[in-house]
Amino acid sequence: MNPAIIHRPSILAIEDDPVLGAFVHDSLGRCGFHVTWCQNGAEGLERAQREPFDVILMDILLPGMNGLDILSRLRRRHTMPIILMSALGAEADRITGFRNGADDYLPKPFSVDELRVRIEAILRRVELERRFHTPVAAAAAPRPDELRFDEGLCDVSFGRKAAQLTPSEYRLLETLWRNPEDVLSKPFLYQHVLQRGYAQHDRSLDMHISQIRRKLKAIGYEAHQVRTVWGKGYVLTEAEPDA
């Protein structure tokens, strides 16, 4: 999907459960990743410090060393993205994980698709951060019937009216604007716009989308609209004539 991921990203999976570990290893391998699988916490930490991986996938309850300990040890020197997986779905664990520097948190049980979407979201974010930040194309030649993006004010305007977006809403709309007609997954938008992992009950992104829709409608902009793609994410499309 993304040209940068052609080089087969390498993933380190630290998971002690043999069934789940083998499953993650095989299914991610089929999706085009190069997966290294460790069953022991200390060994996983040692490998993570020695070899460069694109993403680390890690359980919290591990023999040898706790996943949260590995996380804080790794974070002292490395910035590689880390996804925690755990059956402990409690809010407190998630918060501890994020505070110690995890990029995402995946509650067990999960499906391969969910895991893949999250890994891709993180890889894509890393890729975007690495690349040169180009200004929005539309800003160069603003047409009267288009939205004008004002990077300094963090706001968009249409005609004479400003939408009065919040910084998060602006960033979200800008991200969607850069990738028109491209369905952006929720995990990716959380990573890129809100800079945190996506959780099932987290509704902040939906709320931002709802506000953007209302604010765009309030300033009378109807050429494009943000559409929900169920089970996938959001997309900015040209408005359908009958809508």
Which residues touch 119 (CB under 8 Å, ≥6 apart)? 9, 11, 28, 33, 55, 57, 83
- Report the length, in residues, of the chain: 243
The number of helices, as runs of H, and strands, as runs of E, in the chain is 9, 11
Interface with other proteins includes 127 (CB under 8 A)? no
3, 50, 77, 109: which one contacts other proteins (CB under 8 A)? 109
Q: Nearer Cβ to other proteins, position 43 or 202?
A: 202
Shortest CA distance to 38 belongs to which of 102, 95, 53?
A: 53
- Contacting other proteins within 169-208 (CB under 8 A): 200-204, 206-207
Q: What is the DSSP letter of 51?
A: S
Task: Kindly state the number of chain residues that form the binding site for other proteins, as judged by CB under 8 A.
Answer: 18
The number of angstroms, rounded, from the C-alpha of 74 to the middle of its chain's C-alpha atoms is: 21
Q: Which stretch binds other proteins (CB under 8 A): 7-15, 24-32, 84-92, 151-159?
A: 84-92
1, 61, 90, 139: which one contacts other proteins (CB under 8 A)? 90
214, 222, 223, 238: which one contacts other proteins (CB under 8 A)? 214
- Cβ at position 158, least distance to other proteins in Å: 19
70, 209, 216, 236: which one contacts other proteins (CB under 8 A)? 209
Asked if residue 79 lies in contact with residue 48, where contact means CB atoms within 8 angstroms, the answer is: no
Interface with other proteins includes 19 (CB under 8 A)? no
- Cβ at position 213, least distance to other proteins in Å: 7
- Cβ at position 208, least distance to other proteins in Å: 9
Within the chain, what is the greatest distance between any pair of CA atoms?
Answer: 63
Q: How far apart are CA 163 and CA 4, in angstroms?
A: 35
Q: How far apart are CA 84 and CA 217, in angstroms?
A: 39
Q: Which stretch binds other proteins (CB under 8 A): 23-31, 39-47, 122-130, 209-217?
A: 209-217
Shortest CA distance to 179 belongs to which of 138, 242, 235?
A: 235
Q: Nearer Cβ to other proteins, position 71 or 212?
A: 212
211, 219, 235, 237: which one contacts other proteins (CB under 8 A)? 211
Q: What is the DSSP letter of 160?
A: T
Interface with other proteins includes 161 (CB under 8 A)? no
Q: Nearer Cβ to other proteins, position 111 or 134?
A: 111
91, 129, 181, 242: which one contacts other proteins (CB under 8 A)? 91
Q: How far apart are CA 95 and CA 105, in angstroms?
A: 9
- Paired residues of 14 in beta bridges: 38, 58
Binding site for other proteins (CB under 8 A): 89-91, 109, 200-204, 206-207, 209-211, 213-214, 228, 230
